Amino acid sequence: MRAVIQRVKSASVMINNTETRGINQGLLVLLGIHTEDMSEDIDWLISKITQMRIFSDQDDKMNFSVDDINGEILVISQFTLFASTKKGNRPSYLNSARPEIAIPLYEAFLLKLRSSYKNRVEVGKFGADMQVELTNDGPVTIIIDSKNKE
């Protein structure tokens, strides 16, 4: 699994031009699922997302996690995170898990995040047409991958 995590002052998603969901201060998480991902990737990634110290303390040092600041989390599925641009100008998405694999892992990720994280979690809709708006705070944007563990 790969996640692009953005520290935000606010973020929202419009789903199929009809429904809007949003958060205040916290994290916008764009989540991609690889063809080889398994349930073991979920625990590691959730731990990283909720415990990563990227929010400023009173001395303006990044010492607080989203949990420490009682922040909110907005999760958006994003199959394009595993795009390959190696050949030509049209990205290949062969490394992105197909819906029959991705949807159960995405739903398991959300279930685990909601059960383990005490604050508000909002989500987009898997496979839907979505428009995302955010006010990036910093800006702080971090990419993490459950296979590379960097």
- Report, as residue numbers or ranges, the catalytic residues: 80
Angle, CA 123 vertex, CA 117 and CA 125 arms, to 5°: 145
Q: What is the rounded distance in angstroms from the CA atom of residue 12 to the CA atom of residue 22?
A: 4
Provide the Cα torsion 29, 30, 36, 39; round to 10°: 30
59, amino acid identity:
D
Alpha-helical (H) ranges within 66-98 are none
Alpha-helical (H) ranges within the chain are 39-51, 99-116
Q: What is the rounded distance in angstroms from the CA atom of residue 29 to the CA atom of residue 24?
A: 13
